[in-house]
Amino acid sequence: MKTKIGYFSIADAWTPAKCLQLSIAAEKIGFDSLWVEDHLVAMPGGTECNFAWTVMSSALQATKKIPFYTGVTAPIMRYHPVIVAQAFATMGAMYPGRVGLGVGTGEPPNEMAVYGGEWPSNITRLEMLEEALTVINRLWESDVPINFAGKYYTLNNAILLTKPEKKIPVYVSAIGPRAADLAGRLGDNLITLANHPNYVRDELIPALEAGARSAGKDSKNMERVGHFSYVYDPNQEFRPEDLQQDAGTIQGGAVSRAFASGVVSIFNTAEDFIRKIEEYKRMGYNHLALADVTLLQGKPNRFVTQGFDSLDIWKDVLPHVR
């Protein structure tokens, strides 16, 4: 399987118009996919926080062939799974084969802003995600109204009349084996921040494969998406200790095993990009989703503030990493 390289439109750093411009430019440069984070509250350092689905649909209209995915949507609290199912079915109907849904268990700043009570445990949120995916898949597949009485969600004669011609691929975010198993059972692909080679090889991917087998699916056809962020710093203004390495609010027993290094890297040259991508390919990833978080680091960077297009470096990277 060819290694795909995807580009994140950082809706926490750029205005919606800039996200759109970068998406168009990324397709022209040769990226294989576009991604956007789905936040209500910006990550630390963020000065914007666009609505992901609006950015996504606008970019799909403005580009020609490149697919666009959320990285990721939490269809469990801030969004009801029925709303997610309808929104992505409509986008999929408008842009056949170009829409993907990334899903995960969410982060407190985004979900608790509209949700009362205590932040649910990892296990509870995984249960909610499993039930949400069950609801979404049933709505996408059913031609008649459906009822559903679950532990977390209820449907009464719910139906989606507008559906896509092609199935919308679901990318399930996973750090731990339990979430990876869910990705294999109810998702189509895996997306993860995990970067410890032994952990990815010995725990995460086997869990994905086991989940797929239990659902009668062939995991060989599933994408394993490695997601990491970077600061492009050709002027060498950043030091590793300057970086904000907080990977959101990742919690759980697998965290200590999943990471061999921080989730943000500093790249000074095209060779730095290439080495990192090759490292991820050796871990078993066949699709990479990469985010330029330079503007989120809280440190002035002349390369960015002078208006240079940091996408240009990819012209020297993409031909060497496929």
Which residues have a catalytic role annotated? 39, 107
Contact of 122 with 252, CB cutoff 8 Å: yes
**Residues 277, 280, 286: CA angle, nearest 5 degrees:** 95
What residues are paired with 261 via a beta bridge? Answer: none
Distinct helix (H) and strand (E) counts, the chain = 11, 11
Closest of 140, 48, 145 to residue 101, by C-alpha: 140
Structure tokens at 262: 């921080």
d(C-alpha 157, C-alpha 97), whole Å: 28
Contact of 36 with 100, CB cutoff 8 Å: no
**Amino acid in position 253:** G
Q: Measured in whole angstroms, how far is the alpha carbon of residue 131 from the centre of its chain? A: 20
In sequence order, the 6+-apart residues with CB closer than 8 A to the CB of 64 are 27
